[in-house]
């Protein structure tokens, strides 16, 4: 049986219009993850969605406000270090965490 480690999955939900210091929020969060040496982060752009305001977020002719999900995985300790910073960066949105089992696959070529 492969050797898996316990970890934490962090999912951040907001829209592509959200900013942090005049930069797209998702870019700022990924940069912060790199700075803190987090194991990995991936940004997903949704086709359509809604959240707490019940406003539908979708692509429009003149403006784009698609849903964004940033998925981050690392140890419980490292996600714990990142979380207060991410909460400070977000003006609105949803933060979800899950316990996961993780294993890095890295085969030499």
Q: For the chain, what are the domain ranges? A: 5-102
Phi/psi zone of residue 36: left (φ > 0), alpha (ψ -120 to 50 degrees), beta?
alpha
| Angle, in degrees to the nearest 10, between helices 25-35 and 76-89 | 140
Task: Please report, for residues 3, 55, 76, 90, the alpha-carbon distance to residue 6 in angstroms, rounded to integers and kept in the order given.
Answer: 10, 36, 8, 27
Which one, of 2, 18, 5, 14, lies nearest residue 71 by Cα? 14
pLDDT at 45: 92
pLDDT of amino acid 49: 74
Which CATH number, 3.40.50.12160, 2.40.50.140, 3.30.70.120, 3.40.50.300, labels domain 5-102?
3.30.70.120
- The per-residue pLDDT for 105 is 83
The ranges of the chain with pLDDT < 50 are none
């Amino acid at each position: 049986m492969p050797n898996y480690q316990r970890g934490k999955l962090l999912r951040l939900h907001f829209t592509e219009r959200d900013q942090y210091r005049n930069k797209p929020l998702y870019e700022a969060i990924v940069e912060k993850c790199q700075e803190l040496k987090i194991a990995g982060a991936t940004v997903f752009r949704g086709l359509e969605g809604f959240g707490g305001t019940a406003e539908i977020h979708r692509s429009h002719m003149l403006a784009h406000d698609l849903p964004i999900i940033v998925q981050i995985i690392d140890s419980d300790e490292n996600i714990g270090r990142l979380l207060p910073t991410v909460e400070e960066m977000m003006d609105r949105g949803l933060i979800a965490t899950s316990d996961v089992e993780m294993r890095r696959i890295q085969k030499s070529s």
